[in-house]
Structure 1
C-alpha cells in the first residue's frame, strides 16, 4: 500500500460515514479543542453552539465513562463525578409527554425540577407517571427544597458532584412558543442550581434560542446567560480534529504518525499528537499538503487546499462546523481514485464540499423551516446579486404567501416586516451576507446545496 493510499485509508476508517452519528463516540477519536475546555467544566452550565459544532457530541461523550476518561480536563478530576441524562430526544419525559404536561397546565420550571429529582433516590423517581411527579413537585415546594438540599449536602460530604445534561432543546415541542417556555423554565432551574455545592446542570443550546427576549424574561437571567460558553472551531482546531482521527484510525494510522514525530501513546491506549501539530498552522499546512497537495487545480492560483476547504465551508458569520469539515474530507477520500498520487485530489475535494453543503442545507431546513421556500425560489440564480433579484424571485414564486401558511412556530422571526424581514432573517442565520457594494452573496456552504450559481465557483448540487 502506498503512503497516499494508507493516508486515505486512515480517513476512511476513522471519520464516521454518517455525519449525524448519535452513538457515543469512540474514545480514541475524542478531541478537545482548547476553546472547549471551559465548556466541559461541570461548573459552566450554559453551552451555546450552532448546529454541527459539537453539542450532541459532547452530550454523548460526557455520558460515556470511557470517553470522559480521555478528556484530561482538570476540573473533571476533582473528586467523583456522576453524569446523568437530563433530557435529549431519546430520554423521558419525551416530547409527547411534555406536551401533555403543558396542556394540563404544568409550569415548565416544575417539570424540570421533577426531572432533576427523578435522577435521585428521592421517591419522585418511583411515582407512576410524569404527571404524578410534576404535580407532587409543584404542590410540595418545601419538601422539594429539602430533598435537593439533603442530596446536595450528602454528595458534597462524599466529595461527589452530580452533573445533569440537557441537549436537543429544539426538539422539546413542535411550536416555538412551547419550546421557548420550556427553555425558559430550564434556565430558571440552572439559576436555582447555582446555589448548590454539588449539583450542576449543563445545557447545550443553539444561539438563536437564547436570543429571544421571552426566554430570558425572568429575574437574574443575566447571571445564566452572562456566564455562557460558546463552542467555536478555529481553523487550527479543525485540522487538529482531523489529525486525532487519522492518528488513531483503525488502518493507516501508523503511516500517518510515522511522518510526524512526537506522537505518544497514553495509558488508555490513545495516541496523542505533539502540540506543534495542533497549534502551529505552518506545520499543519505542510502536513495537509502531503495529504491533498498545494493547489486546488492545475496551478496554485486556484487556492491552497489547506485554506480553501475551511473558506468554502464557512457560513456568512465565518462559522465552520466540524460536521461539515469531516463530511467534506470523508467524501473526498471516498471519491479519490485509488491510484492517485495524493490521498485527496482537488476534484474530490469539490465533491466533498458539495456533500457538506447538502448536509448544511438539511440542518438549516430542520432548524429554520421558513428557509426552505425562501431558498428554493432562488435555485439557478447567480450570486452575488441585487436585492431586486432576490425579491423578484420571491414575488414570482409567492414565497411570502407560502411563509404565511406555515405554522406559527415555523415562520421567520421578522415575518411581519415582509420581504425586508426575510432578508434580515437570512442574514442573521448566516445564509446571506451583504457585500460592501450592497449586493447579496450566499456562501458556498449554502449556495451549492441550494442550487445557486457563482462564476468560477464549485458546481451546485443538481
Structure 2
C-alpha cells in the first residue's frame, strides 16, 4: 500500500456514488469508465465466437452495446489483445431498441410467422439489408423485404458473395449482432423457432463465408431449445462462449468501479487507486485498469474487502465472512451470479449502514449486507418476472412454504391453484397485444406440470433435486418470492 486506507465513511460514500447506477445497465449505455473486462469474457469477444449464452444481468446487453460503439471496441481490442476487433463493420441484427430500419419489431415478426414466413428467411433478409442490398432499400415494410428475398434467391446470394469478397479485400469483417432474444415472441415455441433461424444463418455464414459473422447473445435455455430446430446445430457448441462471473471477477468489478468513479468523489477514487497501487490509465486517463491482483487474486481481494466490511456475518467466523457469504447468497440454481445483483447488494448495504448506524467502524455493517441481499433478491425477481412472467405465476402458489420442498407438494399446490389455466390467460394477454412494448416469453410446456419444474431448473430459479429428492430455491429468488428456509436470510418485511 502506498497511502493510508480510506476511512469507513469515505469508503461508504465512494461505494454509494460508484454503484448507484449499477442496476440500470440495460437502459444506460456503457462508457469507458464502466467498461470492466473480466479475463473469462475474452473468448466471448472473439470475432469467430458465434454464440454467447448468458442469463439475465450477466452482461449480454452490455457487450452488445459495447461492440456497437467504435470507441469501446478499441478499448476492448487493446485490453483483450484482440486486434480483429479493430477491423469490424458492426451491424444490428436484433436488440431491445425499436429500430425498424435495421430489423423487424415484435409486431412484424408475429405477423410474418402467422402468414407462414420461415424464421431463416426473415433473418437472411436482415443480413442482406445490413450488407446494403440495393433492391431492399426501395422497400419500407419488412414483409415486402422478406418476400423479395424469397423470390430472388440468386441476387440475394450474390449480395452475400460480393460483400464477403469486398470485405476480404479491405481486410474487414462484417459482424451482425443479436440480443434480447427472449423478447422475440410471446409464444415460447415460436421464439425458439426464431432463435433457431438465427443460429442456422450464423452457422451458414461461419462455414460459407470468410468475412461475414454473426454473434448471438442468448439465454442458455433458449440456446439449448433452439438447437432442436435445424440440422447440425450441435456444431455451434464449438463456437460458443458463456458469459459467467467468478467470485474474483465480481470483486474485481467492484474495485474497478471504486477506482473509476468520475463524479463528485473522483478525488476519493484517485486516493483509492494510490492506496492500492498498480493501476494503469487507459483512454487518455478516462479509464483506469485495476492491477492483476485486484482483478483475479482472491486473497488480495479478501484482505482489501476486510477493510470495508465487518469481519463476520455474526458474532464469529462460524457465520461466515462477508467476502464469501455475499456471493454465495446471490447464486442462482445453476451457481451463476449476476454482477448487477452483486453491485445492487453492496450499494444497498452502504446506504443501509449510513442510515441505521452512520458511526459504525466499518463501511458495511453485517446486518446491512443482509439487507443488501434482500434488495438484490427483489431486483432479481423483478427481472425474471419482467422477462418470464410465468415464473412468478408458478412460484406464487408456494408462497409461505419452506424450502426444501417435495415435488409432490409443489405439484399439488399448482393443481389447487389451476396453474395451467393461469398460464393460458397470461399467454393470451400478450398474444392479443398488436404491438407489445416488450414481448414476454411463456413456458414451453404450460400444461405439463413436471416439465415446468424442469424449465424452472433450466432458468436457475429452482435447483436440481437434493439427495432426498426435495426441490430448493436459491436465496436470490427464495427471499423475494416469500418462501422460508430454516436458518436462512429472512424474507423482507412487507
Give the TM-score taking structure 1 as reference length. 0.93
Q: Give how far 1:18 is off.
A: 5.7
Q: Give how far 1:101 is off.
A: 2.4
Aligned to 2:73: 68
Choose from 220, 241, 250 the match for 1:207.
220
Q: Counterparts in 2 of 1:58-457, with a 5 A limit?
A: 58-71=63-76, 72-77=79-84, 80-90=87-97, 91-92=99-100, 93-123=104-134, 124-194=136-206, 195-212=208-225, 215-250=227-262, 251=265, 252-269=268-285, 270-337=287-354, 338-403=358-423, 405-407=425-427, 412-418=443-449, 420-433=450-463, 434-457=465-488
| Separation in 1, partners of 2:204, 2:84 | 24
Contact 2:22–2:340 (Cα < 8 Å) also in 1: no
Moved more, 308-317 or 107-116: 107-116
The number of residues matched between the two structures is 460
Q: How has the CA–CA distance of structure 1 residues 79 and 394 changed in structure 2, closer, same or farther, with 3 Å as cutoff?
A: closer
Contact 2:175–2:212 (Cα < 8 Å) also in 1: yes
Contact 2:52–2:216 (Cα < 8 Å) also in 1: yes
Deviation sequence 1:188-231 (CA, Å, 0-9, x none):
1101211212221111000111222x643323222223321111
| Separation in 2, partners of 1:384, 1:196 | 51
Q: Give how far 1:404 is off.
A: 5.4
Contact 2:36–2:253 (Cα < 8 Å) also in 1: yes
Q: Give how far 1:343 is off.
A: 1.9
Q: Secondary structure at the match of 1:47?
A: strand
| Separation in 1, partners of 2:85, 2:143 | 37
Q: How has the CA–CA distance of structure 1 residues 61 and 79 changed in structure 2, closer, same or farther, with 3 Å as cutoff?
A: closer
| Separation in 1, partners of 2:105, 2:351 | 38
Q: Secondary structure at the match of 1:202?
A: strand
Unaligned runs of 5+ residues in structure 1 are: none
Moved more, 352-361 or 335-344: 335-344
Q: Secondary structure at the match of 1:407?
A: helix
| Separation in 1, partners of 2:141, 2:455 | 41
Q: How has the CA–CA distance of structure 1 residues 155 and 412 changed in structure 2, closer, same or farther, with 3 Å as cutoff?
A: closer
| Separation in 2, partners of 1:348, 1:248 | 24
Q: How has the CA–CA distance of structure 1 residues 382 and 131 changed in structure 2, closer, same or farther, with 3 Å as cutoff?
A: closer
| Separation in 1, partners of 2:309, 2:273 | 17
| Separation in 2, partners of 1:50, 1:199 | 26
Q: Give how far 1:152 is off.
A: 1.2
Q: Give how far 1:391 is off.
A: 4.2
Moved more, 429-438 or 169-178: 429-438
Deviation sequence 1:271-306 (CA, Å, 0-9, x none):
111111112111111011111131113333221000
Aligned to 2:42: 37
| Separation in 1, partners of 2:349, 2:421 | 40
Q: How has the CA–CA distance of structure 1 residues 110 and 413 changed in structure 2, closer, same or farther, with 3 Å as cutoff?
A: closer
Q: Give how far 1:60 is off.
A: 1.1
Contact 2:180–2:217 (Cα < 8 Å) also in 1: yes
Q: How has the CA–CA distance of structure 1 residues 262 and 181 changed in structure 2, closer, same or farther, with 3 Å as cutoff?
A: same
| Separation in 2, partners of 1:311, 1:448 | 14
Q: How has the CA–CA distance of structure 1 residues 425 and 188 changed in structure 2, closer, same or farther, with 3 Å as cutoff?
A: closer
Moved more, 266-275 or 302-311: 266-275
Q: Do structure 1's residue 15 and structure 2's residue 22 form an aligned pair?
A: no
Unaligned runs of 5+ residues in structure 2 are: 429-439
Q: Give how far 1:396 is off.
A: 4.3
| Separation in 2, partners of 1:205, 1:437 | 33
Q: Give how far 1:410 is off.
A: 5.9
Q: How has the CA–CA distance of structure 1 residues 47 and 174 changed in structure 2, closer, same or farther, with 3 Å as cutoff?
A: same
Contact 2:313–2:321 (Cα < 8 Å) also in 1: yes
Aligned to 1:6: 10
Q: Secondary structure at the match of 2:392?
A: helix
Contact 1:7–1:256 (Cα < 8 Å) also in 2: no
Contact 2:188–2:442 (Cα < 8 Å) also in 1: no
Moved more, 41-50 or 246-255: 246-255
Q: Give how far 1:106 is off.
A: 2.3
Q: How has the CA–CA distance of structure 1 residues 110 and 415 changed in structure 2, closer, same or farther, with 3 Å as cutoff?
A: closer
Deviation sequence 1:331-350 (CA, Å, 0-9, x none):
11222224332222112111
Q: How has the CA–CA distance of structure 1 residues 182 and 441 changed in structure 2, closer, same or farther, with 3 Å as cutoff?
A: closer
